[in-house]
């Protein structure tokens, strides 16, 4: 630590308020910045809401200069994944800092020393103490308005990480396509056309009247498509039902499409409105009034014209047969109907190690629009660094 800066662990509600509000002050003059909803962040550090804290640990720090907050960071250890590496690895995230390497180094040192005291030998950052599709990665290219709960930062953040010694562990890409512009690649289009001529295949839009059925189908597809990936846990029917019920108040059913083969669920493409286009005026607060404003802006005033591809999955035995194109065509048939309010689709969090998914995004007309970097810092600086080869 330098005499210029003072580090303080967040322990009280007052300190948490300072920790939450600092980024909004830092980005006050940046028109692209959208403050996340406070509850979406604080729940990650609440043992009652984040089950990872039942066995894991987390800490938050504030950095002061002359009694003014100039930086913040969080560090956490997920025991389920910490040892799934060549060395025990923790994470740091929610890093925000003024453009000063000395200040950043104090924050990084605090996270490193906290991890070393708990037996870790490396840390990834900036990452989230939870799902990867939220608050994950350092924006390196595509400095436009962020998607809901996706990180946004100043360009100098990459320099702060890299000058400290963090190295690029993997890139995660956000693909973008305009709803009415372009189509599928010729190969995917041909496969999709052939598939639509086969009466064994069918595509359906979700219906809340049959929510139990769609939750069951979601579970089946997810577990077959994703459950075999290391580190990805299979889900239960109850989990799938809870997820859909959570989305129900805000989700537009036109944005959720399932694929079936002989009435067996084989694929889904789940999208949702980008809430950032609405919550940017809430300043992080989701009180009853802002909840009402959110519902009105989504349902009545149609203030969101950007959608996010939340999850795309095809069971292994039907991959490469045109099902991906079939899902997109089914969606586009709906998009061409009158009063469809959405103009663009962004598909976020596709790792550079996931070449098959990158090809899917490109084959359906997507182009790389943003790049986030997940960095890794090895505490033993003589140890060889290896980039990620899988998720």
- Residue range 291-325, pLDDT digits in tens: 999 999 988 778 889 999 988 889 999 988 889 88
Token pair for 167: 């190295």
Rounded to whole angstroms, the Cα distance separating 335 from 252 reads: 12
pLDDT for the residue numbered 231: 55
Rounded to whole angstroms, the Cα distance separating 333 from 321 reads: 20
Token pair for 343: 């103009």
Quick one: average pLDDT of 369-377?
97
- Of 372, 352, 386, 389, whose CA–CA distance to 122 is shortest? 386
What pLDDT digit, counting tens, does each position of 128-139 carry?
A: 998 788 999 999
Question: How does strand 89-97 pair with strand 68-77?
Answer: antiparallel
Q: Is-contact 91 64, C-beta < 8 A?
A: no
pLDDT for the residue numbered 299: 83
pLDDT for the residue numbered 365: 85
pLDDT for the residue numbered 233: 76
How many CB atoms are closer than 10 A to CB 299?
12
Question: How does strand 306-314 pair with strand 344-351?
Answer: parallel
Token pair for 181: 């512009």
CA distance to 116, 128, 136, per residue, from 119 (Å): 5, 20, 23
Rounded to whole angstroms, the Cα distance separating 94 from 105 reads: 15
pLDDT for the residue numbered 182: 61
Model's pTM, two decimal places?
Answer: 0.91
pLDDT for the residue numbered 228: 63
Tally the C-alpha atoms within 13 A of residue 332's C-alpha that lie toward its C-beta.
18
Domains, the chain, in order of start with CATH, read 6-172+372-378 (3.40.630.30), 180-342 (3.40.630.30)
Rounded to whole angstroms, the Cα distance separating 164 from 376 reads: 11
CA distance to 13, 74, 116, 135, 310, per residue, from 58 (Å): 16, 7, 14, 15, 27
Quick one: average pLDDT of 95-109?
98
Rounded to whole angstroms, the Cα distance separating 311 from 349 reads: 10
pLDDT bracket for residue 219 (50, 70, 90): very high
pLDDT bracket for residue 267 (50, 70, 90): very high
What pLDDT digit, counting tens, does each position of 163-212 carry?
A: 999 999 999 999 999 887 666 778 888 888 888 889 999 999 999 999 99
DSSP letter for each residue of 249-306:
TT--GGGEEEEEETTEEEEEEEEEE-THHHHTTSTT---HHHHHHHHIIIIIS----E
Host H or E run for residue 64? strand 57-65
Statement: residue 255 has pLDDT above 80: yes
pLDDT for the residue numbered 164: 98
Statement: residue 144 has pLDDT above 70: yes
């Amino acid at each position: 630590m330098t005499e210029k800066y003072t580090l303080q662990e967040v322990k009280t509600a007052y300190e948490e308020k300072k920790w939450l509000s600092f980024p909004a002050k830092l980005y006050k003059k940046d028109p692209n910045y959208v403050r996340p909803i406070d509850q979406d962040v604080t729940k990650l550090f609440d043992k009652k809401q984040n089950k990872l804290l039942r066995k894991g640990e987390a800490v938050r720090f504030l950095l002061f200069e002359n009694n003014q907050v100039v930086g913040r960071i969080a560090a956490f250890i997920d025991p389920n994944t910490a040892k799934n590496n060549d060395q025990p690895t923790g994470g740091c995230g929610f890093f925000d800092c003024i453009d000063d390497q000395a200040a950043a180094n104090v924050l990084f040192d605090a996270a490193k020393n906290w991890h070393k005291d708990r037996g870790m030998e490396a840390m990834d950052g900036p990452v989230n103490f939870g799902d990867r599709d939220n608050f994950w990665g350092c924006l390196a290219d595509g400095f436009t308005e962020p998607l809901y709960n996706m990180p946004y930062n100043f360009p100098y953040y990459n320099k702060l990480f890299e000058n400290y010694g963090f190295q690029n562990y993997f890139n995660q890409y956000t693909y973008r396509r305009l709803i009415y512009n372009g189509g599928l690649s010729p190969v995917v289009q041909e496969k999709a056309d052939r598939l639509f001529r086969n009466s064994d295949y069918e595509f359906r839009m979700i219906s809340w009247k049959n929510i139990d059925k769609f939750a069951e189908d979601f579970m089946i597809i997810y577990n077959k498509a994703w459950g075999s990936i290391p580190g990805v846990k299979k889900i239960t029917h109850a989990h799938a039902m809870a997820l859909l019920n959570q989305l129900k108040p805000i989700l537009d059913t036109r944005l959720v499409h399932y694929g079936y083969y002989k009435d067996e669920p084989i694929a889904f493409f789940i999208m949702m409105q980008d809430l950032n286009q609405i919550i940017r005026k809430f300043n992080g607060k989701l009180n009853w009034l802002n909840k009402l404003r959110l519902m009105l802006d989504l349902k009545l005033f149609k203030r969101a014209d950007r959608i996010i591809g939340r999850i795309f999955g095809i069971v292994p035995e039907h991959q490469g047969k045109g099902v991906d194109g079939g899902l997109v065509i089914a969606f586009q048939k709906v998009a061409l109907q009158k009063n469809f309010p959405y103009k663009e689709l962004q598909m976020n969090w596709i790792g550079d190690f996931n070449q098959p998914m990158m090809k899917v995004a490109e084959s359906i007309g997507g182009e790389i629009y943003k790049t986030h970097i997940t960095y890794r810092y090895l505490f033993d600086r003589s140890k060889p660094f290896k980039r990620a080869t899988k998720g």
